[in-house]
Amino acid sequence: MNIAQICFVGLIFGAGLSQANEWLEFRGPGGQGFGGKTVKKWTDKEIAWKISIAPKGWSSPIVSKGKIILTGALEKGGKTHLMVLALDEKTGADVWQTSLFTPTEKEILARHSKNGLASATPVIRDGVIYVHFGHMGTAAVKLDDGKAIWKERYSYEPVHGGGSSPILVGDLMVFSADGKSDPVLVALNAKTGKLVWKTPRTSDVKRTFSFATPTLVKDAGRDLIISPASGMVGAYDPKDGKEVWKVSNKEGWSLVSKPVVMDGMVYTSTGFAKANLLAIKLNGARGEVTDSNLKWTAKKGIPNTPSFIASDGVLYVLDDTGSLTCFDAKSGDSKWREKLPGNFSSSPMLSDGALYCVTEDGVCYVVEVSPEEGKIIFQTDLEEKTFASPIVVNGALILRSENHLYKISGE
């Protein structure tokens, strides 16, 4: 392990230790899907609270300074309002709600039947919430009172709606805008919302639309934004948005999985129609590095939608149909495979040796995992559609279903 890799690992685990009482972005500290210790089995007695949520959304909860933040869409007064709302972490009580955008009927209808109007998970830093509704609007909001700091629209023609969550890189808010044509990676000034740079994708594909959330990595001492798109995985310099390196794939579109990083490797999916897993070496390379840096691929049990977990030298990979596979991260060999009944769009979370996985129909599985085996130890049914990924804050498991939010802790 080189110095850059050690720094990255320290960043992830240091963030995890310091943010046990917060969950600031999609997939938590470092965006890698690691949560603190929480309950592995529960009954109604362990549910601290369950509340109804009127605004509908598939975005995952985030938490900061005792507030749970959600986004959603609410029908009111003959209009659809795209909203951000804050709830008290201890009680679930409403703190504030802010309507940010009112999309047109055309914008509302421009989405897949499984997609919602609020699918991107916000990100928080220094008391500011950065909210993204894809082509329908992007905003920065004060955590304390919900007042908007700025609101902007980066317009593009979507396919199936929005889905990519934003990340923060220095003073930039970065997200993908891979629509029907002219796909790009976009960086806004986080303080003003103004465009800083946009970088066109360099893949030559028929279907240009995708929804993957970027990942920030350290590679040979430099910050890089890893952002998959249709037909490619790109690495970009945050300073100017220039493409540093690229791994190409002839197939692959409408990909959703967020890249994960471990021991100097990046792991991601190619998306539809037949997803492949790509294992890419980080070694300071530049240019087209498909032949030199793509170390292995896998084709069986690879998701179009859920993101991976990389831990202890293995990858835990849950595909859309419930196939859970443990891959050796160095060789790509399959170590074991288990079947979880149901279909999955949310991403699993790893907590204290267990994966938390929730089906689209709301069945929650807790699976004890190790490099040697995986075993379902608990399951329960939320009895509602669920596309949001689970999170852990202050030892409590937070689950969002279509109409409800749960805090499960035994308190």
**pLDDT for residue 6 is more than 50:** no
Residue with tokens 């703190």: 95
User: What is the rounded (10 degree) CA torsion for 190, 196, 199, 200?
Assistant: 100
For 210-224, the pLDDT digits (tens) are: 779 999 999 999 999
For 181-194, the pLDDT digits (tens) are: 788 999 999 999 99
Q: Average pLDDT in the 88-115 region?
A: 86
Tally the C-alpha atoms within 13 A of residue 208's C-alpha that lie toward its C-beta. 18
Q: What is the pLDDT of residue 111?
A: 67
Q: In what order do the strands lie in the sheet with 195-200?
A: 167-169, 172-177, 184-189, 195-200
The class level of CATH for 3-408 reads mainly beta
What residues have CB less than 8 Å from 17, skipping those under 6 apart?
none
Output the CA angle 268-273-276, nearest 5 degrees.
30
Q: What is the pLDDT of residue 112?
A: 61
For 323-355, the pLDDT digits (tens) are: 999 999 999 999 999 999 999 999 999 999 999
H or E segment at 16? helix 3-18
| Residue 157: pLDDT band with limits 50, 70, 90 | confident
Strands (E), 53-189: 62-64, 67-76, 79-88, 94-101, 123-125, 128-132, 138-142, 148-152, 167-169, 172-177, 184-189
Q: Write the Ramachandran bin of 337: left for phi over 0, alpha for psi from -120 to 50, otherwise beta.
A: beta
| Residue 361: pLDDT band with limits 50, 70, 90 | very high
**pLDDT for residue 253 is more than 70:** no
**pLDDT for residue 11 is more than 70:** no
**Do residues 241 and 252 make contact, with C-beta atoms less than 8 angstroms apart?**
no
